[in-house]
Amino acid sequence: MGSMPELFSVSSPLSTRTMVIRRRSVDGDRRSIFYNAFTIATTQQSVIADGLTEVGRLWAYAAHNSGGRNKFIYRRDALFSTTAPQPIVQTRCEETVIDFFTTLNTISFPNLATPHCDGDISTCQVIPTSFTSSSNATLLTSVNNALQAGQPPSLMWLEDDELKPHNSSIVALAMFPQTANGDRRLYRCTIDAVMANSTIQSTRNSPRLVTGYATEFKDIGTSNTSWSRVSVSPSWADLLNPTISTSNTTVFAHTTSTAGLRDTATPSYPYNYPFIIESTLTLMVTNGLARTTYNLTLAGSLLHPFDPSDPWSGGLWQQHMIPPRYLSFNGPQSIFNPSSIPANATKFTMHARVTGYAWSSDGAIQKASMIILSIYIMLAVAHVAYSGISGESSNAWDNVPELVALAAQSQRADVLHDTGAGITTVDPVRVKVRVRNVDGHLEYTFGNTWERGGPVRSNCD
């Protein structure tokens, strides 16, 4: 379980969602590098993720076929986002190791609490300070029977208000008649599920991948009072743990066995058992809540398509998404025909933001660059104008070998008589030099030797 990823993809009919999970860290010497106070998970609702990717696909089509498509020629990516509720589920399990001669007389469930931190999230711990207990004879009989030798691992969901702590959605009992460690174990788990508004998004470059979650959930768990708690019924929770027909075992039993809790050639360490159970239950409930509206889809028909039999023919809906001539915005506009939207439909607003390359004069560096470039342009224009008016221009001596050859054919200059290897001042650089025709060949002339020779003439007709 130490290698369990904190982020992985979950498929939906029209999209791929991102599941984020944080497993509660082990205390003491086995603490992980990055400490987590909770076992908690979240993912986007399936139907909303599908809707976002489909509307994003419509936007991409509208952008490609808009009259001013050149305005997207330097597009790097387009980001589509919407704000919608998504499930966040937190689980805390307490372990009871039972020998084969003991019968349970009472069962208790931990109350979830906000983390207690010493100024640093890495020191946060959530320690249940109280428990709700029950000595219900019927419940105890069922649990004791399920823990008998030879029974498969089982999962029991309970909703009894006397058992369920006030800050939770449902409680569960995970029963293992025999673990890989050779003993019986009972896990008493409290599960809290909430719906929290978060901004989810997809991109033009990865149109099917949907990401996003309420960032603070990793630090505060489900304790935010503005989030809506979800009430989970045992009958609904039972649907999360179906029997696998090919192996005649439940999803929960198969998952925990694969994780090394029982009947496996590579067993996990016993101190990991509670975290295996917490992670498994958290993911089961989170995935289930995200798929509760699996049978819903986008409602309504596109607004005034050019060809009603072909929604991809364009129409007014396309102009509402992409202004036909300019990058302008006239406020949120619907792309669906209002008369075709059912009264019980839920409205979401998608925002599209295009990123790309553009000219900008903001910033000191940009302004300085513009000034330097303008000066260079003026010098270049002046040089070209001078060459055009005077007719004097040459591309000779534009490389080092030509300059060295010309210097070798020139007479020694008096102004450089003290100059040799190791120039340490700028005086030699300040000496003005010309190329002159001296006695039929070209030489460098410096300072007082400018009068020697005559001007250089082109040898081309």
- Percent of the chain, pLDDT > 90? 25
d(CA 402, CA 6): 66
Q: How do the residues of the chain divide into helix, strand and coil, expressed in percent and rounded to 5?
A: 30, 25, 45
Residue 1 clears pLDDT 50, i.e. is over it: no
Last residue of a domain, one of 256, 290, 324: 290
- Domain annotation covers residue 451: yes
User: Residue 461: what pLDDT?
Assistant: 46
User: Residue 264: what pLDDT?
Assistant: 64
Q: Are residues 368 and 461 in the same domain?
A: no
Residue 460 clears pLDDT 70, i.e. is over it: no
Phi, psi values for residue 63, rounded to 5°: -65, -40
Angle at 109 between CA 270 and CA 168, to 5 degrees: 115
Largest CA distance in the chain: 125
Give 150 or 197, the one with higher predicted confidence: 197
Q: Are residues 40 and 189 in the same domain?
A: yes
Contact call for residues 332 and 83 (beta carbons, < 8 A): no
75: which residues sit within 8 A by CB, 6+ positions away? 204, 354, 355, 356
- Domain annotation covers residue 175: yes
How many CB atoms are closer than 10 A to CB 329? Answer: 8
- Domain annotation covers residue 198: yes
Total number of domains in the chain: 3
Half-sphere exposure of 53 (CA within 13 A, CB side): 21
Give 307 or 132, the one with higher predicted confidence: 307
Query: Please, which pLDDT band fits residue 120 given cuts at 50, 70 and 90?
Result: low
* Parent domain of 376: 361-393
d(CA 32, CA 37): 11
Q: Note the pLDDT tens digit of each residue in 222-257.
A: 888 889 999 999 999 999 999 998 888 899 988 888
Residue 328 clears pLDDT 80, i.e. is over it: no
Q: Is 196 helix (H, G, I), strand (E, B) or coil?
A: strand
Q: Are residues 375 and 275 in the same domain?
A: no
Q: Are residues 279 and 421 in the same domain?
A: no
Q: What is the DSSP string of 218-273?
A: HHHTT--TTSEEPP--HHHHHTTS-EETTTTEEHHHHHHHHTTSSS-SSPPPGGGH
Q: Are residues 142 and 233 in the same domain?
A: yes
Q: Are residues 21 and 151 in the same domain?
A: yes
Q: For the chain, how far is it from start to end, CA to CA, in angstroms?
A: 87
Sign of CA dihedral 45, 51, 52, 57: positive
Q: Are residues 109 and 242 in the same domain?
A: yes
Residue 402 clears pLDDT 70, i.e. is over it: yes
Residue 116 clears pLDDT 60, i.e. is over it: no
How many CB atoms are closer than 10 A to CB 180? Answer: 19
User: Residue 371: what pLDDT?
Assistant: 93
Q: Are residues 95 and 177 in the same domain?
A: yes
Structure-token pair, residue 265: 């050639």
Contact call for residues 352 and 78 (beta carbons, < 8 A): yes
d(CA 278, CA 110): 13
Sign of CA dihedral 136, 137, 139, 144: positive
- Domain annotation covers residue 352: no
366: which residues sit within 8 A by CB, 6+ positions away? 360
Last residue of a domain, one of 240, 268, 290: 290
Q: Note the pLDDT tens digit of each residue in 12-62.
A: 999 999 999 988 877 654 555 667 778 999 999 999 999 999 988 888 888
